[in-house]
Chain A
C-alpha cells in the first residue's frame, strides 16, 4: 500500500507539471494521454485499497513523505494517511477524475488550449488527494487551498470572457472568507492541543469538552468555538448558506470542471472535513447544532432557487448546493457514515448529471438555456438515458418494502430518517426541511428533464442555434428546429456516462450495508454512533415513505406544469410575482453582498488613499515639513537684513530677556 498511495497522489502532480510546462511543445495528444493515463493508473491503484477496507483486510497506515515545518512545539510534516475514510474519498476522487479526463477528450476537442486544461485537471486531482490523505490540519489546509487554486484557474479557463474572470475571482475570494475561519480554527486547535496532528487532536478532544477559552474578548466553550471556526471553512468550500454565492457563478468554467470540482469532489471537502474531525465535533454540541441548522437551511434554500433557474448548469449547481446541505445535517445529527454515504453516491449521480448536461450542451451548440431545448429524447438517446438514470438516482426512486432503489434512495432517505430518529428540536427542523427539499428536488429534476427531452423543439429561439443554422426565427417559420440536427456525443464522452450510470443505479444498493450499518468497516476513522443507526432503522413507516411520497408529488407536479399544461408556470409567476422574483434572483444575496462588502471596500480604499495618504499624512508630514522649511527660510531671510540697527534691537531684546530670566 505504501508505494501505491505515493503513486496515486504524486502521479497526477507529475503529469500536471509535465503537461503544463510542456504545453504546446508536447502537443495535445501527448499531454492528454499523459494526464489521462496517470489518472487511470491512480484510479486502478485506488480501488484495491478501497476493496481492502471493504473486506477488512487493510489497516490504517500513515506514509511519511518529508519534513515540513518545525517551529517550537508547532510541527507538521508531509505525510499520507490511508484509512477507511480516505479510501472512500480516494475511489471517489480518482474515479470521477479519470472519467472526467476521458470525457474532456471529447468535450474540449476543439479548444485551442487543451494541454493547459488537462494540466489543471490533474493538478486539481493532486491537491484533492493531498487533502483527503492529510494526517495533520495544515496539510489538509494545503490541499484545501490547492483545490481552491485549481478551481480558480479552471473557472477562469476561458480567460477572455469577463464573466469567467469575475466568477473565478469571486470563487477564490469567497472561499478565502471561509479559510479565515479554517485558519483561526487551526490556530486555536494548536493553542489548545499543542499539536496539529489529527489523530492526536481527536484523541484529546473529548477531554476538552468542558473547557472554556477566551475568543475576541468573550469566554466560550473551547470545543464549540474551535469547531465553529473550522466549520466556517467547510461552509466556504462546500458552498453553504451565506458563503454559497460563488458556486452558481462557478458554472462559467467548462462543464467537465463543474462535474469534477463543483459537484463530485472539491465541494464535498467540507463534509469530509467534518467527518474526519467527527470525534472533535461530537465534543461540541452547540457547533453540531449549528452544522445541522446550516445544512438544513441550505438544502431547502438552494432547492427553492433550483426550481426557477433556466440555465441547465445552474439548476444542477443549486441542486449540488442543496445535496451538500443534506450531507451536513446528516453529520450534524451524528450520522457521519450516512453523510459519507450520500457524499459517495452523490459523486456518481451528480457527476453523471453534469456530464450529461455537458453532452446536451455539446449537442445544442453551446446553448445552456433550457427554454431553447425540448424534444431531445429522440435526437440524443444515449445522453437521455444517462440523464434519466441520474434523475432517478437524485430524486431517490426506490421502494422500501422491496428493498430496491437507485443510489439516492439509499443515501438520501437514510439522511431523512436519521434526522427524524435523532429527535431533537433542531433535528426535527432538519427532517422537515429535508422532506420539503426532497419534494423540490424531484420537481426541479423532472422540470429539467421535461424541458430538455420532452415537448416540442424550441431550438430556433436560441442565438447559438441561429448562428449555427444561419437563420432567424422568422425565416425558420413553422419549423422550430430551424433545421438544426443535434448529434450524439463522441464515444469518449459516452463511456464516462455509461460508467457513471452504473454507479447511479447500483452504488446505493451495493454499498449501503457497509456504509450505513457496519461499524467495523469504518474502523474508527469516523465517529460511529451505533444506537443512532439502530434508531434510524426503527423509524415509523410514514417517515420511511415520506421521501417516497414527496418524490412522487414532485414528479407529478413537474409533469403537470411542464407537459400537461405548459401555461401553468407562466400563470404561477404572474400570480406570485414577488415570491418568484425573490427566488429567481437567488434571494438577492449577490446584491446584498455587493452593497455591504464590495462597494464599501472600494469606496474606503479610495478615501484612505486620497484623504488619508495624500490628504492628511503627506500634507502634514513630508510636504508640510517642506513647506515649513521653505517658508521658514523666507522669514529667516528677512531677519538677516544687514541693517545694524535691527541687529542691535534684537541684541537689546535678548539682553532684557536674559536679565529678566536670571533676576526673577
Chain B
C-alpha cells in the first residue's frame, strides 16, 4: 500500500460524512451515512486484502509528532485488523437497521453513528497510548447520546448508568497511563508492550486498567449497566454496543494488561478466572428467567464475555486465539440476535417474549435465520462461536480442569435459555392475532441479516481466514507471557504402560476347546 494513509482515510470518511449529516435532511442523511459506511467497508476489505500475513507485526503505520511526545500514530496488527473489520462490517448494517425505525432527528442520529465509527476504528488503530485513551473514552459520548436521545422509555436512567459505570473505571486508567509514560519515557504502544515494568508497580497498574476494562467487558459484578443500556438503546445501538463496544475490554486486556504487565496478570489470574466462573453460571441462570428479549440476550453476552476473559488468562495460544474468535463471533451473532429482536420490535413495538409465538407460521424465513443465530450463540460446531468457545476452553483446560468444567456447564445453560427463548417466540401456536399478522422479512432486513449469516458460517467452516492474520501476533504474545504463565493442574506423568490390554484373555488350550465349540 506504499505510503497511502488508508487508516487515516478510514477515519476521515465517516468523520466528513458525519459532519455533513448534521446539515442534511432525513432522507439525504440516511443515504449519506449508508454510502459512507459502505465506502469504509470497501476500504476495510482493501485493508484486509493488502495486509501482509506473516509480514511485519505493525503495518500501515502512520506517525506525526504533535506535542510533548504525544503523537498521532496509527498502525495495526492482525488482532486490530480483525476488530476493525468487525466494526466496518457491522456499521452499514446498523444504518440499514435504523432506516425506518428512526424518524426524529435523523441527521443527528446518523452523525452520532458515523462519529462512533471514527472512534471505534481509532481505538483499534491507535499506536499512541493517549490517542488510544481519547478514542476509547470519546466513544462513550455518541453511545450515551444514542441511548439518551433515541432510546426507550427509561432511557435517561440507562444512559446515566452507562456513563457513570464506564467513566468511573477510566479515570484510574488515565492516571496509570501517565505513570507509565513517565516511567518508560514513551507513549508508543508497541514500545510499551515490550517494556518490563517493575513487578510491584505492575500490580497497581494492572488494577487500574482492570477497573476500566472490567466495566467495558463487562465482568461480573460490574455488568448491571449492560442489560439496561441494551434494553433502552435503539436496535442499531444495541448492535454496536454488543458487537463492538463490548470488545474494547477484551482488546484492552490483549493489548495492554497482558503484554505490559505479564507478572501482574499471572498474579491476578485466579481473580479473573473466579469472576468468569461466577459470571457464566450467574448470568446464564438470570438469562433463563427473563421475559424481555433484549435483556435475555444482554445477559447471555455477559456469559459469553466471561469465556473471553477466561480464555485470555489461560496464557496459551488456544486460549488467546479462542478469546479473539469468541469476540469476533459474538460480535456477529449477538449483533444479529439484536437485529432479530429489532425486526419484530419494529412490527409490534414490544420486547416482551409472551406477546409473540408461532412466528414460524407467518415468518418462516425469519424463523430460519433466527434459528441459525440461536444455534451459533449456543456454539454449534460449524458456526463462528464454536471455534472460539472450543479453542478458549481447550486453552483454559490446560491451566485448570475445574474452571473448564464450570465454564462448560455454562454452555448447557446457554442451550437452555436460547432454545427456551426461541420456542416462546417462534414455535407454539399463534396466540396473539397482531403477532400472527406480521409480515416476513423484507429486502432491507435480508440485506442486514443475510451477510451476517454468511459470515457466521464462513467463520465456522473455514476460520483460517480469520486466524491466519492473528497467528503471529498471538504467538508473540504467548512468548511474552511464557515467563509468567501459571502451571496447569493436569500435570501429566507418564508411567509404565500396562502389560496387557483391558480385556486380555488367555488363549484356549486347543483352538475351540469348550463344550459348545463348533
B393 sits at the interface (CB 8 A): yes
Chain A CB within 10 A, most for which of B381, B408, B415, B462: B381
Q: CB distance A612 to B282 under 8 Å? A: yes
A142 sits at the interface (CB 8 A): yes
What chain B residues lie within 8 Å of A209 (beta carbons)?
Answer: 497-498
With A156-B427, A210-B494, A605-B288 as contacts: A149 and B391 at CB distance below 8 Å: no
**Which of B132-140, B250-258, B314-322 makes up part of the contact surface?**
B314-322
A96 sits at the interface (CB 8 A): no
Chain A CB within 10 A, most for which of B317, B368, B503: B503
What chain A residues lie within 8 Å of B467 (beta carbons)?
Answer: 69-71
With A211-B495, A215-B401, A538-B514 as contacts: A183 and B502 at CB distance below 8 Å: no
B516 sits at the interface (CB 8 A): yes
Q: CB distance B387 to A69 under 8 Å? A: yes
A430 sits at the interface (CB 8 A): no
| Residues 264-314 of A contacting B (Cβ, < 8 Å) | 279, 281-285, 288
Q: CB distance B493 to A422 under 8 Å? A: no
**Which of B26-34, B77-85, B118-126, B484-492 makes up part of the contact surface?**
B484-492
Once bound together, how far apart are the Cα atoms of A625 and B164, in whole Å? 9
Task: Count residues on chain B whose CB falls below 8 Å from chain A CBs.
Answer: 91
With A282-B502, A622-B225 as contacts: A160 and B358 at CB distance below 8 Å: yes
**Which of B86-94, B340-348, B505-513 makes up part of the contact surface?**
B505-513
Which 10 residue pairs of A and B lie closest in terms of their CB atoms, listed nearest first? A538-B514, A334-B503, A210-B495, A72-B317, A187-B397, A605-B285, A282-B501, A142-B381, A605-B289, A531-B505
Task: Count residues on chain A whose CB falls below 8 Å from chain B CBs.
Answer: 92
With A69-B463, A184-B397 as contacts: A537 and B518 at CB distance below 8 Å: yes
| Nearest CB of chain B from residue A127's CB, rounded to whole Å | 9
B429 sits at the interface (CB 8 A): yes
Q: CB distance B502 to A284 under 8 Å? A: yes
What chain A residues lie within 8 Å of B386 (beta carbons)?
Answer: 145
A593 sits at the interface (CB 8 A): no
**Which of A168-176, A360-368, A498-506 makes up part of the contact surface?**
A168-176
**Which of B63-71, B96-104, B199-207, B416-424 makes up part of the contact surface?**
B416-424
| Residues 13-62 of B contacting A (Cβ, < 8 Å) | none
Q: CB distance B507 to A531 under 8 Å? A: yes
Once bound together, how far apart are the Cα atoms of A93 and B507, in whole Å? 36
What chain B residues lie within 8 Å of A184 (beta carbons)?
Answer: 397, 401, 404-405, 408
Residue from A217, A334, A622 in contact with B489 in the complex, judged by beta carbons closer than 8 Å: A217
Q: CB distance B494 to A539 under 8 Å? A: no
Q: CB distance A210 to B318 under 8 Å? A: no
Once bound together, how far apart are the Cα atoms of A264 and B492, in whole Å? 39
Q: CB distance A534 to B508 under 8 Å? A: yes
B169 sits at the interface (CB 8 A): no
Once bound together, how far apart are the Cα atoms of A320 and B186, in whole Å? 70
Residue of B with least CB distance to A158: B427
Residue from B381, B428, B496, B497 in contact with A141 in the complex, judged by beta carbons closer than 8 Å: B381
With A187-B404, A529-B503 as contacts: A66 and B514 at CB distance below 8 Å: no
B436 sits at the interface (CB 8 A): no
With A422-B503, A535-B508 as contacts: A71 and B317 at CB distance below 8 Å: yes
Once bound together, how far apart are the Cα atoms of A215 and B493, in whole Å? 13
Once bound together, how far apart are the Cα atoms of A527 and B398, in whole Å? 30
A486 sits at the interface (CB 8 A): no
Once bound together, how far apart are the Cα atoms of A142 and B467, in whole Å? 19
| Nearest CB of chain A from residue B245's CB, rounded to whole Å | 18
Q: CB distance A609 to B286 under 8 Å? A: yes
A191 sits at the interface (CB 8 A): yes
Q: CB distance B397 to A191 under 8 Å? A: yes
Residue from B404, B411, B428, B501 in contact with A176 in the complex, judged by beta carbons closer than 8 Å: B411
B434 sits at the interface (CB 8 A): no
B74 sits at the interface (CB 8 A): no
| Nearest CB of chain A from residue B254's CB, rounded to whole Å | 15
Once bound together, how far apart are the Cα atoms of A323 and B471, in whole Å? 48
What chain B residues lie within 8 Å of A165 (beta carbons)?
Answer: 423, 427-428
Residue from B394, B427, B493, B514 in contact with A211 in the complex, judged by beta carbons closer than 8 Å: B493
What chain A residues lie within 8 Å of B416 (beta carbons)?
Answer: 169, 173, 601
What chain B residues lie within 8 Å of A609 (beta carbons)?
Answer: 286, 289-290
Chain B CB within 10 A, most for which of A67, A209, A422: A209
What chain B residues lie within 8 Å of A604 (beta carbons)?
Answer: 285
Q: Hey, what's the 0/1 contact readout for B350-373 against A, CB within 8 Å counting as 1?
A: 000000001011001000100000
Once bound together, how far apart are the Cα atoms of A282 and B518, in whole Å? 28
What chain A residues lie within 8 Å of B427 (beta carbons)?
Answer: 156, 159-160, 165
Q: CB distance B463 to A149 under 8 Å? A: no
Once bound together, how far apart are the Cα atoms of A273 and B513, in whole Å? 33
Once bound together, how far apart are the Cα atoms of A112 and B360, in whole Å? 13
| Nearest CB of chain B from residue A99's CB, rounded to whole Å | 27
Residue from A70, A138, A540 in contact with B381 in the complex, judged by beta carbons closer than 8 Å: A138
A662 sits at the interface (CB 8 A): no
| Nearest CB of chain A from residue B54's CB, rounded to whole Å | 13
Q: CB distance B409 to A283 under 8 Å? A: no
Once bound together, how far apart are the Cα atoms of A38 and B282, in whole Å? 46
Residue of B with least CB distance to A180: B408
B413 sits at the interface (CB 8 A): yes
What chain B residues lie within 8 Å of A222 (beta carbons)?
Answer: 492
What chain B residues lie within 8 Å of A531 (beta carbons)?
Answer: 504-508
Q: CB distance A334 to B411 under 8 Å? A: no
What chain A residues lie within 8 Å of B322 (beta carbons)?
Answer: 71
Residue from A72, A169, A187 in contact with B423 in the complex, judged by beta carbons closer than 8 Å: A169
| Nearest CB of chain A from residue B329's CB, rounded to whole Å | 13
Q: CB distance B490 to A618 under 8 Å? A: no
Q: CB distance A601 to B285 under 8 Å? A: yes
What chain A residues lie within 8 Å of B381 (beta carbons)?
Answer: 138, 141-142, 145-146
Q: CB distance B505 to A529 under 8 Å? A: yes
| Residues 267-326 of B contacting A (Cβ, < 8 Å) | 282, 285-290, 316-318, 321-322
Once bound together, how far apart are the Cα atoms of A215 and B492, in whole Å? 10
With A72-B317, A190-B394, A211-B494 as contacts: A177 and B412 at CB distance below 8 Å: yes
Q: Hey, what's the 0/1 contact readout for A531-572 against B, CB within 8 Å counting as 1?
A: 110110111110110000000000000000000000000000
